[in-house]
Amino acid sequence: MNIQEFQAILQTRCAIDLKKPVLLGFSGGPDSICLLSLLVKSGVEVTAAHLDHALRPDSAAEAVQAEEICRQLGADFISRRVDVADYAQKKHLSVEEAARKQRYAFLFAEAAKTGAQAVLTGHQADDQVETVLMHLLRGSALSGLAGMRMVLLPNPWSKDIPLVRPLLAFSREEVEAYLSEIPIRPIFDQSNQDSSFFRNRIRNDLLPQLLTYNPQFKKRILRMADAIALEDDLVMAQTRQAWAETVIETGEDFVVFDRAKTASLHPALRRRLMREGLTRLRSELRDMDYQVIEKGSHFFTDPCQSNTVHLIAGLEMFAHLKRRVVLAKKESPLHGLWPQLTQKKALPLKIPGMVSLNEHWTLRSSRETIYINTGDPFVCQLNAELLADKLTIDRFKAGDRFSPYGAAAQEMKLGDFWTNQGLAARARSNWPLIRSGEEIVWVPGFRIADRWRVKKETTSILRLELIKTE
């Protein structure tokens, strides 16, 4: 490893501008010291960011030592201390995963503050081998077997700041050889010998055994990961295209798919869409179980499937409005997807005027003299000559019946009407209804009551519009 080789990789493969600042995740270990030294020698303005995980009694002292190393190398230093064990317990995560989440959240937050062009970490080729083996043993899909990318953008933490790992081009042996030429003693993390951590068991137990079968095993794994990464890029491009063609709507807590279009895709692409949807809603999910992905993929193609399917981490799928499938967070009311009235008491309707159902939905009313069919299911025009009682916005009540427009003689249970329309079960109890007394006048998103339709002789029209606010 030499400075010219490193700079070439930094500029060509990592797209790093040597004249712009970067932020380095700095533990004080051999890999991060090697990378920091190379960056400083390359003339890059670098801030070393150290996260004290508070997992060991000497972690605070190590933070002080890390700062001293940065001073010796001539780099700026920032640090923070977090209780990873407490976070892991509260979030029901392994200590490894909790530390990872806290570490990257810290790094990208600091990168945004400092205006860094990228977040750099010291992962090297041996780490890549361990990562691929971890994913393989967990039953990962193709993306997991591709291992870590040298440049990852977008990533789970930022759409604008790339995660860059330039040392993936070098082995641990090359890193150690470089360190032998600089007079700085690294911090050796004692937890690297703790066999309770999955990665440590792979590094210290499994890998040495595998090398007895093939001394070139690491090189073979790295070549395989490179080949898979290239093919994975192709599949990901196809997945992005499929996403654009099949996804109708997205929000923070839901993804809506066109059922027929998704069902027509190759099974591999359906599985990719499932992984993408699950990851968007739960970014912490990694190495998802095959059965979870297969269950979600099968939902689209099963013509009898209309019930809710529970997947993983509080995520579920359900049919909606016959032609749609929704992937959503179970605990969310999904206000951004459909209108919901969460107040227990009915709201009086102001005519003319506006009434807020919640922060996402508002009902507007006005008087009209001309009937115009907008074709929008969230806009209706009613025969205002029938107004006797004040109109209210209310929720579903047991025993509710409804005579939908076009079926004057076919009064039915509201629940049966919703079933015929394909309204998801979890949307029904708080779906807003417009009433005159106890009579349902309009079911927003669907139909008005037949008795309230505008006729040729009608001279007074009430226009109602349920508006989704962004």
Residues 233-270 have pLDDT tens digits of 999 999 999 999 999 999 999 999 999 999 999 999 99
Cα–Cα distance between 203 and 272 in angstroms, integer?
Answer: 30
Cα–Cα distance between 440 and 393 in angstroms, integer?
Answer: 10
How does residue 445 score in pLDDT terms, banded at 50, 70 and 90? very high
Place of tokens 């508002």: 362
Average pLDDT, the chain: 93
Concatenating the DSSP letter of every residue in 93-159 gives: --HHHHHHHHHHHHHHHHHHHHT-S-EE----HHHHHHHHHHHHHTT--HHHHT---SEE-SBTTBS
Cα–Cα distance between 123 and 453 in angstroms, integer?
Answer: 68
How does residue 469 score in pLDDT terms, banded at 50, 70 and 90? confident
Given this model, what pLDDT does residue 344 score? 86
Q: Average pLDDT, stretch 352-371?
A: 91
Cα–Cα distance between 468 and 337 in angstroms, integer?
Answer: 9
How does residue 303 score in pLDDT terms, banded at 50, 70 and 90? low
**Peptide bond before residue 352 is cis, with ω within 30 degrees of 0:** yes
Q: Average pLDDT, stretch 12-22?
A: 97
Q: CA 83, 119, 254, 139 torsion: positive or negative?
A: negative
Cα–Cα distance between 168 and 170 in angstroms, integer?
Answer: 5
Q: Average pLDDT, stretch 437-456?
A: 94
pLDDT at 393 over 80: yes
Q: Which of 336, 179, 299 is nearest to 308 (CA)?
A: 299
pLDDT at 67 over 90: yes
How does residue 284 score in pLDDT terms, banded at 50, 70 and 90? confident
Given this model, what pLDDT does residue 94 score? 84
Given this model, what pLDDT does residue 317 score? 96
DSSP E strands in 265-360: the ranges are 309-310, 315-320, 324-329, 347-348, 353-356
Token pair for 83? 């209780």
Q: Average pLDDT, stretch 333-354?
A: 92
Given this model, what pLDDT does residue 254 score? 97
Place of tokens 């992962």: 123
Given this model, what pLDDT does residue 340 score? 94
Q: Average pLDDT, stretch 146-161?
A: 94
pLDDT at 193 over 90: no
Given this model, what pLDDT does residue 152 score? 95
Token pair for 174? 């090359």
H/E/C letters for each residue in 177-229?
HHHCCCCCCCCCCHHHHCCCCHHHHHHHHHHHHHHHHCCCHHHHHHHHHHHHH
Given this model, what pLDDT does residue 197 score? 81
Percent share of the chain, pLDDT over 90: 80
Domains located in the chain, CATH noted: 3-213 (3.40.50.620), 225-329 (1.20.59.20), 347-468 (3.50.40.10)
**CA 342 to each of CA 128, 264, 432: distance values in angstroms, whole numbers, following the listed order:** 50, 37, 9
For 30-49, how does the pLDDT look when each residue is reduced to its tens digit (9 = 90+)? 999 999 999 999 999 999 99
pLDDT at 409 over 70: no
**How many secondary structure helices (H) and strands (E) does the chain include?**
16, 21
How does residue 431 score in pLDDT terms, banded at 50, 70 and 90? very high
Tell me the one-letter amino acid at 225: A
Q: Average pLDDT, stretch 413-427?
A: 94
Rg (the chain; Cα; Å) = 29
**CA 395 to each of CA 323, 340, 444: distance values in angstroms, whole numbers, following the listed order:** 25, 9, 12
Concatenating the DSSP letter of every residue in 417-448 gives: HHHHHT--HHHHTT--EEEETTEEEE-TTS-B
Asked whether the beta carbons of 361 and 339 are under 8 A apart, the reply is yes
Expressed in angstroms, the distance from the first to the final Cα of the chain is 53
Given this model, what pLDDT does residue 140 score? 83
Residues 6+ apart with CB under 8 A from 36: 24, 26, 46, 48, 69, 70, 73, 75
Cα–Cα distance between 393 and 390 in angstroms, integer?
Answer: 10
Given this model, what pLDDT does residue 324 score? 95
* The 324-329 sheet, strands edge to edge: 247-251, 254-258, 324-329, 315-320, 309-310
Q: Which of 75, 55, 52, 78 is nearest to 63 (CA)?
A: 52
Pairing of strands 46-52, 22-25: parallel
pLDDT at 198 over 90: no
Beta bridge partners of 48: 24, 77
Cα–Cα distance between 418 and 412 in angstroms, integer?
Answer: 10
Given this model, what pLDDT does residue 97 score? 86
Q: Average pLDDT, stretch 367-375?
A: 86
Asked whether the beta carbons of 360 and 332 are under 8 A apart, the reply is no
Residue 469, judged by CB atoms within 10 A of its CB (0-12, 13-18, 19+), counts as: exposed
How does residue 306 score in pLDDT terms, banded at 50, 70 and 90? low
Percent share of the chain, pLDDT over 70: 97
